[in-house]
Structure 1
Amino acid sequence: MGIPISAATAGVPPTLFLTDADVALLADWRAAFDALRAAYADTVPAAMVPPRTMARGDGMWLRSLSAVSPSGGHMGCKLISASMKLRRASYLVSLFDQESMSLAALIDGNRVTGIRTAATAAVAIDAAAPARPLRVGVIGSGFEAQGLLSALAAVRDIAHVRVFSPTPASREKFVVIFRDALKGHIEPSVSAREAVEGADVVLCAARSRDETPVIRGEWLAPGMTVVSIGSTLPEQREVDEETIARASLIVADMPEEVAHDTGDMLAATRAGIAFAERLVPLSELVSGRVRRGPDDIVLYKSVGSALQDVITAEMLLGRARALHVGTEMAHSIVPVAK
């Protein structure tokens, strides 16, 4: 066993606990966007962001995602416990200080997932979409779709939005939520195809109940950027095979997982569609090492990454300390000398 070092001796601050309400208070789209863009513009070795792991039980699972931040500040892990039987899940993000190895923070990760997913999508769109006010099509009207549009509107000018959701009341509610922020430049659509038509950017966050694709490649026009965040497991579908076939560039936050663990890409593989040469890491696009042509269709596929969780959690912790938000824990994990 190692020899414990007291927190006082180590000279480290106490562990800060941030509740879901704290995260809601501290959340800032621009700050998350800036932090994530800086991370993806850097070179992050694969060893710093290993593949996620999942332990499965009877109708339940525990997923872990770990990463070392390239900022030099923290390293951390997000744990997700979920039960399909109970229809419940819990999220926990832990951050460790890279200098002292002390436990800097424990954060309720419920909102972190939504913040990092939407803000990273905004990073991808900003790098891929034309430098003008954007025409946006949104497929879906729930929490994820609202986050995607909120994050994008925080960093780019929006010319117009069309939203489709299968339930008319849901898409009308979505319009009401964003009407003031977008100065009325938003309207519901009666079909997904209508929402996509004429868009520069398509935000897709809506799988169908029977897992049939909700985006069809035949709807896409040259120059479009399509964001797909809803197919993260082999049994899930969001875009069809033609979308993948027509994409000149397929950008992924975790290329290996996107290629081998998502239903959309597995379906494309079964259909004989070769995409390996068109699949690139998000960092290649953000850093400018890969560029799109003006008529290229770009597909951003996201499964989520521990890098996003840790970078977002770092941002939240920094804001919490500056604004004196959160609860200092009376006891914490004490580093040991090895």
Structure 2
Amino acid sequence: MGTSHPDAAIAVPPTLFLSDADVAGLADWPLAIRALRQAYAGHVSPAMVPPRSMARGDGLWLRALTAVSPSGGHLGCKLISASMTHRRASYLISLFDQTTMGLSALIDGNRITGIRTAATAAVAVDTAAPQRPLRVAVIGAGFEARGLLLALASVRELAAVQVFSPTPASRERFAADMRSQTSLEVVPVASPQDAVRGADVVLCAARSRDESPVLRGEWLEPGMTVVSVGSTLPEQREVDEQVLARAALIVADMVDEVAHDTGDLLAAHLAGIDVSSRLVSLSDFVSGQVVRQNAFDIVVYKSVGSALQDVVTAEMLLARAREQGIGTPLAHSIVPVSK
């Protein structure tokens, strides 16, 4: 494209900057879950959510995830810069208006990563799990495990929750924290088998230090729904091959990346397990194009994260920020021009 004349500039509202503290104050589980459910129930083509890209240097990298929101409101990008040498990372989400191409917002994306992961998992579980108070097993006691449980509890009634972490103090602390934040009676247990026994839903957000699976297929019971968010790279493991072998459906937020870039799926391929015939997109599952055939089917939701989740969650936060007058309008911004 050629250079445009200055009089071709388009007037747009100021870009709003939302800090991590702003995001914390604006976060809302039911609203995030509703926005993501609407997004995945609509039309999401592969072109709207292309594969992520990564530039690598010596001990550092910059990852870019882009997506067009099916809401018609924004298109956006999440950038993650990280240095393994200095143990530092930054997350930035930019939102552009789909009509004016104006830069609507710049948002600290650190907290959004956890929000969108848990909220999208809640959408998957709500679609898959039986319509009754749910018995939940949590494997893991960190940030992601907390988010998964809080998000699910915001949209479904939970009858019982049991948590396992290999460190007794961690699972006790998790149980105490969840009791203080919710009305749930969360019970710490001594083994993952104890946590899983009798559950309707198994929330996995943990990896062992040696990357051996923390959830085994032999522990699963008919009708269970399994969420796995803790292994997103080829060298990482969270569930064993039998978990995937027993699943009637393997629901993925990014089908190609789950199939070819996650250690759990790669191990299943090496073991000769056919996963391709049972691997479906979250969009097809939420929209009802693919359904659980009977109550005894085991369904696994496998997540690597998606720019669609980041952009849709950021859109929800931006709308709330504008309603509440939160955020910092920037004095100068990108000026869209006619082309």
- Whether the 8 Å contact between 1:2 and 1:336 is mirrored in structure 2 is no
Is contact 2:52–2:64 with CA below 8 Å preserved after alignment?
Answer: yes
Partner of 1:134: 134
Is the partner of 1:10 in helix, strand or coil?
coil
Structure-to-structure mapping, 1:1-338, within 5 angstroms: 1-3=2-4, 10-292=10-292, 293-338=294-339
How many residues are matched? 337
Displacement of 1:3:
2.5
Which residues of structure 2 form unaligned runs of 5+? none
CA drift of 1:291 comes to 1.2
CA distance in 2, matches of 1:173, 1:31: 28
- CA, structure 1 residues 18+199, in 2 after alignment: closer, same or farther (shift >3 Å)? same
Counterpart-to-counterpart distance in 2, 1:330 and 1:99: 22
Normalising by structure 2, we get a TM-score of 0.97
Q: Percent sequence identity over matched residues?
A: 71
Partner letter of residue 280 of structure 1?
V
Distance apart, 1:65 and its partner CA: 0.4
Contact 1:233 1:262 in 2 (8 A): yes
| Deviation (angstroms), 1:180 | 4.1
Q: Is the 8 A contact 1:127 1:286 kept in 2?
A: yes
Tell me how far 1:183 sits from its aligned partner.
3.0
Distance 1:156 1:184 in 2: 12
Q: Is the 8 A contact 1:133 1:156 kept in 2?
A: yes
CA distance in 2, matches of 1:4, 1:27: 41
TM-score by length of structure 1 reads 0.97
Q: Is contact 1:4-1:334 (8 Å) kept?
A: no
Distance 2:206 2:7 in 1: 49
2-structure distance, mates of 1:196, 1:297: 13
- State the AA in 2 paired with 1:54: M
Mapped to 2, the partners of 1:302 and 1:4 lie a distance apart of: 46
Counterpart Cα distance in 2 of 1:248 and 1:287: 18
2-structure distance, mates of 1:207, 1:195: 16
Task: Report how far residue 87 of structure 1 moved.
Answer: 1.6
Mapped partners of 2:303, 2:86: distance in 1: 26
One-letter amino acid of the structure 2 residue matched with residue 335 of structure 1: P
Determine the C-alpha separation between the residues in 1 that align with 2:5 and 2:20: 31
2-side partners of 1:5 and 1:188: how far apart?
64
Q: Which stretch of structure 1 is more off in the superposition, 180-189 or 31-40?
A: 180-189
| Paired residues of 1:202 and 1:224 also in contact (CA < 8 A) | yes
With over 3 angstroms needed to count, the CA separation of the structure-2 counterparts of 1:4 and 1:226, relative to structure 1, is farther
Contact 2:161-2:184 within 8 A present in 1 as well:
no
Q: CA RMSD in A?
A: 1.3
CA distance in 2, matches of 1:84, 1:195: 34
Using the alignment, how far apart are the partners of 2:10 and 2:337 within structure 1?
A: 10
Could you tell me whether the CA contact under 8 Å between 1:4 and 1:335 is conserved in 2? Answer: no
Relative to structure 1, the CA distance from residue 11 to residue 200 in structure 2 (aligned partners, 3 Å threshold; closer, same or farther) is same
Conserved in 2, the CA contact under 8 Å of 1:5 and 1:337? no
CA contact (8 A) 2:17 2:328 kept: yes
Change (3 A) 1:10 1:241: same
State whether residues 158 and 184 of structure 2, in contact with CA within 8 Å, keep that contact through their aligned partners in structure 1: no
How much does 1:165 deviate? 0.7
SS at 2:130's partner residue? coil
Structure 1 unaligned residues grouped into runs of 5+: none
Q: Is the 8 A contact 2:215 2:240 kept in 1?
A: yes
C-alpha distance after superposition, 1:186-222 (max 9, x if no partner) = 1001011111111100000001111110000000000
Runs of 4 or more, structure 1, over 4 Å off, are 4-7
Label 1:329 to 1:273 Cα distance change in 2 as closer, same or farther (>3 A): same
Contact 2:10 2:335 (C-alpha < 8 Å) held by counterparts: no
